[in-house]
């Protein structure tokens, strides 16, 4: 059976999955992403750690997931803000130092989407995967193929616009979906709902808001209703463009799905073309932090 190594380089941690072509995990590891000044040194240190796991060999393909816009062919990372990489040629650096048969590159959210697509029980061919975490990311599978483009990774769903007068986003734009549904930005608008509570001057995490909502606090429930509404608006744009058969929600915040499900669905039905929503499935996929590395490995085997 064919095997591959998937490496997911995160801003904080790097996760490794050694997998079979069916996506079964043979070995996994996690370590802090080295904090070197030069990207060459960082990547070199990562590969030395992977080498120590005794899973690398010249016959094993390797997939790399990076939190950035990356060219899947050339392996050039245009900009990875969390890693401080700019126009860095990953492929060249790796092939020079390590004997590798095949190495592929993708954005981390696209890798996670591919893993979720491959693991589906219902084998749906048109799938939109949305990762709700610190930011909002995603990947799209169209007719059984990951949406990819030569020159850069695509499907930056977190940066579709849902409010022209909305807050500034890290991308330089305004009113992006991420500024409403990313954990990093939630506080800004959600605060208005806990004005009359003891949390008035505190910044709450999505998990804290979730706990309060589950305890029945009205203000917290309102936060999640609003969350569902914004997310539904963003997803409607994707539905109207690509008509997915299924939307899979994952990431840390998706744990609160039961709290925003009703408003999300209402918002989708209100904003998306009815022809496209008739048979649309919406599913929550349990978040596993190794999903990106598994997807990277599966892409290397593809
Ligand atoms: Zn943005």
Strands of the 136-142 sheet, one edge to the other:
145-146, 136-142, 127-132, 246-250, 281-284
- The bridge status of strand 127-132 relative to strand 136-142 is antiparallel
147 with 275, same domain: the answer is: yes
110 with 126, same domain: the answer is: no
Cβ atoms < 10 Å from Cβ of 14: 22
Mean pLDDT, the chain, integer: 94
Q: Tokens 């990562």 identify what position?
A: 46
pLDDT band at 131 (very low <50, low <70, confident <90, very high): very high
296 vs 98, residue with greater confidence: 296
| pLDDT of the residue at 32 | 96
pLDDT band at 100 (very low <50, low <70, confident <90, very high): confident
- Mean pLDDT score, 254-259: 97
How far does the centroid of ligand 1 lie from the alpha carbon of residue 224, in Å?
21
271 with 131, same domain: the answer is: yes
How far does the centroid of ligand 1 lie from the alpha carbon of residue 171, in Å?
4
The token duo for 264 is 């999300």
Residue 101: which domain range? 3-114+290-301
Q: Which helix (H) or strand (E) holds 187?
A: helix 183-190
**Percent of the chain whose predicted confidence (pLDDT) is above 90:** 85
156 with 247, same domain: the answer is: yes
141 with 220, same domain: the answer is: yes
How far does the centroid of ligand 1 lie from the alpha carbon of residue 298, in Å?
29
90 with 131, same domain: the answer is: no
How far does the centroid of ligand 1 lie from the alpha carbon of residue 12, in Å?
21
Contact (Cβ atoms closer than 8 angstroms) between residue 111 and residue 295: yes
The CATH number given to whatever domain includes residue 67 is 3.30.420.40
| pLDDT of the residue at 200 | 86
How far does the centroid of ligand 1 lie from the alpha carbon of residue 169, in Å?
5
Q: Tokens 């910044």 identify what position?
A: 203
Contact (Cβ atoms closer than 8 angstroms) between residue 129 and residue 248: yes
| pLDDT of the residue at 79 | 83
69 with 188, same domain: the answer is: no
74-83, 179-188, 211-220, 278-287: which range is least confident on average?
74-83
**Percent of the chain whose predicted confidence (pLDDT) is above 70:** 100
CA dihedral 138, 141, 146, 150 (to 10 degrees): -80
| pLDDT of the residue at 196 | 92
How far does the centroid of ligand 1 lie from the alpha carbon of residue 51, in Å?
37
pLDDT band at 58 (very low <50, low <70, confident <90, very high): confident
88 with 211, same domain: the answer is: no
Strand partners, 4: 19
32 with 72, same domain: the answer is: yes
How far does the centroid of ligand 1 lie from the alpha carbon of residue 167, in Å?
10
How far does the centroid of ligand 1 lie from the alpha carbon of residue 170, in Å?
6
pLDDT in tens, 140-175: 999 999 999 999 999 999 999 999 999 999 889 999
* Residue 268, pLDDT above cutoff 90: yes
* Residue 273, pLDDT above cutoff 90: yes
Q: How many domains does the chain divide into?
A: 2
Q: Is 236 helix (H, G, I), strand (E, B) or coil?
A: helix
How far does the centroid of ligand 1 lie from the alpha carbon of residue 219, in Å?
27
153 with 18, same domain: the answer is: no
* Residue 93, pLDDT above cutoff 90: no
297 with 252, same domain: the answer is: no
173 with 202, same domain: the answer is: yes
| pLDDT of the residue at 97 | 83
How far does the centroid of ligand 1 lie from the alpha carbon of residue 81, in Å?
13
Residue 172: left if φ>0, alpha if ψ -120 to 50, beta else—which one? left
């Amino acid at each position: 059976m064919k095997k591959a190594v998937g490496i997911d380089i995160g801003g904080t941690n790097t996760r490794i999955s050694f997998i079979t072509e069916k996506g079964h995990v043979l070995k996994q590891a996690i370590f802090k992403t080295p904090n070197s000044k030069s990207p060459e040194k960082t990547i070199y240190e990562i590969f030395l750690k992977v080498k120590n796991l005794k899973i690398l060999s010249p016959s094993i393909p390797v997939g790399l997931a990076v939190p950035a816009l990356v060219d899947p062919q050339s392996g050039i990372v245009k900009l990875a803000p969390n890693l401080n990489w700019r126009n860095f040629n990953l492929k060249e650096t790796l092939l020079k130092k390590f004997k590798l048969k095949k190495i592929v590159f993708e954005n981390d959210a696209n890798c996670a989407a591919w893993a979720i697509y491959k693991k589906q029980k219902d084998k749906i061919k048109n799938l939109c995967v949305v990762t709700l975490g610190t930011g909002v990311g995603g990947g799209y599978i169209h007719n059984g193929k990951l949406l990819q483009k030569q020159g850069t990774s695509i499907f930056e769903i977190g940066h579709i616009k849902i409010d022209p007068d909305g807050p500034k986003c890290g991308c330089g734009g305004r009113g992006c979906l991420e500024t409403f549904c990313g954990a990093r930005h939630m506080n800004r608008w959600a605060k208005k709902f806990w004005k009359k509570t003891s949390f008035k001057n505190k910044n709450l995490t999505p998990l804290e808001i979730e706990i309060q909502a589950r305890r029945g606090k009205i203000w917290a429930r309102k936060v999640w209703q609003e969350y569902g509404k914004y997310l539904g608006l963003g997803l409607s744009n994707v539905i109207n463009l690509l008509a997915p058969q299924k939307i899979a929600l994952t990431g840390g915040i998706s744990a609160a799905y039961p709290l925003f499900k009703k408003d999300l669905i209402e918002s989708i039905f209100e904003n998306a073309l009815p022809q496209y929503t008739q048979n649309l499935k919406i599913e929550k996929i349990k978040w596993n932090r190794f999903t990106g590395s598994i997807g990277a490995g599966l892409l290397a085997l593809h």
